[in-house]
Amino acid sequence: MTQSGAARFPRLLAAVVAGSIVAQCAAPAQAESVVKLPPAKLDPAVNAKRATAVLAGGCFWGVEGVFERVKGVISVESGYHGGSAATAKYELTHDGKSGHAEAVRIVYDPTQVSYGTLLRVLFSVIADPTLKNRQGPDVGSQYRAAIVPLDATQRQVATAYLAQIGQGRYFDKPIVVPVESYKQFYRAEANHQDFMRRNPSNGYIVRWDAPKLAALKRLFPDMVRPTSAP
């Protein structure tokens, strides 16, 4: 990869570096931030078989890969949220100027998993809510963690849960996750869909995302489905 190519695709460079590191290390990689957060106090029941959530937590490969293994999740797709249709492309988001965040759209069964539980998983094992415009090795507004409510109830749950975990002092630093207004979710390119499931030996996945799935299984074993969502 040329220097200019590395600059345009920093995660691909990170995957190469991470793969080299993992190959040389005998000990398995650990998730960067793992905190077993409590259930959401405000989490009203939803009388429906399907609901949708849009969440961002850094690189969408791992966010998608972890949520695919949560019981009650019907489907997950990677995409972009926050910018325009014209810039909703992988190669156009990496200067941090597009307004987009790498995000996921989750279709779930509220009778099996609540919106508050999805937030609990997001901030317990996937994303560090004290980091602004970065997660893991990825830096820039396109890697921000964010909650994007799709209705008034989701907004209430999101706002209350951020306040709850902030007041509970589960983290050493303040919570900086924004609650963003929904604009439009743009599905990412086909090669990014189910990336973690299709590429378990990828260096980036091994170093940064597989530990998140391992943390989910360790902290919340009752939430884990035996196989990924279809």
What tokens were used for 100? 């987009």
Q: How many CB atoms lie within 10 A of CB 80?
A: 27
> Which pair of structure tokens corresponds to residue 207?
């170093």
- Catalytic-residue membership of 59: yes
Cα–Cα distance for residue pair 18/203, rounded to 1 Å: 5
34-65 burial, b for 16+ CB within 10 Å, e for fewer?
A: beebeebeebeebeeeebebbbbbbbbbbbbb
Strands (E), 145-209: 145-148, 185-187
| Catalytic one of 14, 53, 59, 158 | 59
Would you please indicate which residues are annotated as catalytic (active-site) residues?
A: 59
